[in-house]
């Protein structure tokens, strides 16, 4: 049948992707349509009025960082005034973790899908503590962003050019044999990336103290590889979008208020519903009551078949998100029920190297009643307070039901 055929084509494109991390460049130079007064954010479209605390905080931080406002109050006024524009990262070939704020002068990773010629982008991971992606915008947060802009980004870009790029498909394959699922747990991938970059970084023009600082950033940042992994997943999925009749999901993303999905055969529409609040383990002093609704583009990992879909590869993650190793196994097994393919390049050792479940079919989701699983960080619901925990969440079924209805209408017309 035509839908199955379209889905096979979409799945084949996902499996054929060849994402190479090639460079770091200023967002304005590489992201299509990027301009100084455009603020990209995670998830589906949203107005300032409807934004949650952490997304508002990150918008304020982005405006301060770009010099578009002098202080918090002016930034909030400007954000409400309509003199800056908001758009989803996803609509500009970009993905951002948590708030996902990406502005014109920020350096971004460049991932090229060598099979299809498209590119995708993601900011550099800020590390831990008070960070923009959780809505913090104090002066130390902005200082770190400036160091990323002035030192880290250019150095990593030069190192990547010296290396001729990093094959992200291979790197993710290695992660899955090393206890990472590529979303919440990226320790092995980050360590592999660190040791690959290190000799090339020593060959760049970086002075010795900054070389030490850049190497220390990679030594201390277990999430360093998350952003390039996300961009790789985005680069893999974009060619699968726009196939007439296909009911495969090509994006799942949350802005802290709404969860939205896009479907290959349904154009650029977002199918949205209120985001759920993740359930998980909380840092000392915080509890479930502090949790913001689900936020971030990092669900691009699950959309590409890793993250919670590859949880069987990462049994140690339960120390971080809750649950038992057996549940990690079951999470992956369940996801085979709503997907149409398995990725032979990404084998899960404990399942006898069975490929990760790939290509979410909205028909299977609605028919089985099984929504995709998502591993996630949990943001405090107030701007600027940062991460309070990590856990598990699912998208609302309403997104998939609305998309299936639209697919039925498209078929009928």
Contact status: 213 vs a copy of itself (CB under 8 A): yes
Contact status: 211 vs a copy of itself (CB under 8 A): yes
Question: Which one of 18-26, 71-79, 207-215, 276-284 is the stretch in contact with a copy of itself (CB under 8 A)?
Answer: 207-215
Q: Least distance in Å: CB of 130 to a copy of itself?
A: 22
3-state secondary structure the chain: CHHHHHHHHHHHHHHHCCEEEEEEEEHHHHCCCCCCCEEEECCCCCCHHHCCHHHHHHHHHHHHHCCCCCCHHHHHHHHHHCCCEEEEHHHHCECCCCCCCECCCCEEEEEEECCCCCEEEEECCCCCCCCHHHCCCCHHHHHHHHHHHHHHHHHHHHHHHHHCCEEHHHHHHHHHCCCCCCCCCCHHHHHHHHHHHHHHHHHCCCCHHHHHHHHHHHHHCCCCCHHHHHHHHHHHHHHHCCCCCCCEEEEEEEECCEEEEEEHHHCCCCEEEECCCCEEEECCCCCHHHECCCEECCCHHHHCCCHHHHHHHCHHHHHHHCCCHHHHHHHHHHHHHHEEEEEEEEEEHHHCCEEEEEEEEHHHHHHHCCCCCEEEEEEECCCCCCEEEEEEECCCHHHHHHHHHHHHHHHHC
- Letters for 23-62 (x = contact with a copy of itself by CB under 8 A, - = none) are ----------------------------------------
Q: Least distance in Å: CB of 176 to a copy of itself?
A: 9
Contact status: 2 vs a copy of itself (CB under 8 A): no
Contact status: 225 vs a copy of itself (CB under 8 A): no
Please identify which residue in 109, 218, 259, 336 interacts with a copy of itself, judged by CB under 8 A.
218
Contact status: 165 vs a copy of itself (CB under 8 A): no
Contact status: 315 vs a copy of itself (CB under 8 A): yes
Q: Least distance in Å: CB of 188 to a copy of itself?
A: 5
Q: Least distance in Å: CB of 239 to a copy of itself?
A: 29
- Letters for 322-341 (x = contact with a copy of itself by CB under 8 A, - = none) are --xxx---------------
Contact status: 208 vs a copy of itself (CB under 8 A): yes
- Name residues contacting a copy of itself, limited to 186-205 (CB under 8 A): 187-188, 190-192, 194-196, 198-199, 201-203
Q: Which residues bind a copy of itself (CB under 8 A)?
A: 174, 177-180, 187-188, 190-192, 194-196, 198-199, 201-203, 208, 211-213, 215-216, 218-219, 315-316, 318-319, 324-326, 349-353
């Amino acid at each position: 049948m035509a839908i199955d055929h379209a889905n096979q084509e979409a799945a084949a494109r996902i499996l054929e992707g060849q994402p190479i991390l090639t460079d770091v460049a200023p967002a304005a130079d590489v992201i299509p349509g990027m301009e100084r007064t455009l603020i990209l954010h995670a998830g589906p479209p949203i107005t300032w009025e409807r934004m949650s605390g952490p997304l508002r905080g990150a918008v304020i931080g982005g405006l301060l960082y770009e010099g578009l406002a002098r202080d918090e109050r002016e930034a909030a006024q400007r954000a409400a005034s309509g003199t800056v524009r908001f758009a989803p990262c996803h609509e500009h070939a970009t993905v951002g973790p948590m708030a996902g704020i990406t502005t014109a002068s920020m350096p971004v990773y460049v991932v090229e899908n060598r099979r299809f010629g498209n590119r995708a982008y993601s900011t550099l991971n800020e590390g831990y503590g008070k960070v923009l992606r959780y809505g913090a915008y104090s002066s130390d947060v902005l200082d770190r962003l400036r160091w990323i802009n002035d030192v880290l980004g250019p150095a990593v870009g030069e190192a990547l050019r010296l290396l001729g790029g990093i094959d992200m498909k291979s790197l993710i394959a290695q992660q899955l044999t090393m206890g990472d699922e590529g979303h919440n747990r990226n320790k092995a991938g980050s360590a592999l990336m660190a040791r690959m970059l290190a000799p090339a970084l020593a060959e760049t023009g970086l002075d010795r103290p900054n070389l030490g600082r850049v190497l220390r950033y990679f030594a201390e940042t277990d999430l360093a590889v998350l952003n390039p992994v996300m961009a790789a997943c985005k680069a893999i999925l974009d060619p699968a979008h726009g196939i007439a009749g296909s009911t495969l999901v090509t994006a799942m993303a949350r802005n802290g208020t709404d969860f939205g999905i896009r479907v290959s055969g349904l154009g650029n529409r977002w199918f949205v519903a209120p985001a759920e609040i993740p359930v998980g383990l909380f840092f000392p002093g915080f509890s479930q009551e502090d949790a913001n609704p689900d936020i971030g583009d990092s669900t691009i990992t699950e959309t590409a078949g890793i993250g919670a879909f590859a949880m069987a590869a990462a049994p140690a993650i339960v120390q971080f998100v809750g649950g038992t190793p057996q549940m990690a196994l079951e999470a992956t097994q369940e996801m085979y029920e709503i997907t149409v393919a398995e990725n032979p390049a990404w084998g899960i050792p404990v399942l006898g190297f069975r490929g990760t479940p790939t290509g979410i079919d909205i028909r299977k989701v609605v028919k089985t009643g099984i929504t995709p699983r998502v591993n996630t960080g949990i943001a405090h619901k107030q701007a600027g307070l940062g991460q309070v925990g990590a856990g598990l969440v699912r998208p609302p079924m309403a997104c998939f039901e609305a998309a299936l209805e639209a697919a039925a209408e498209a078929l009928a017309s």
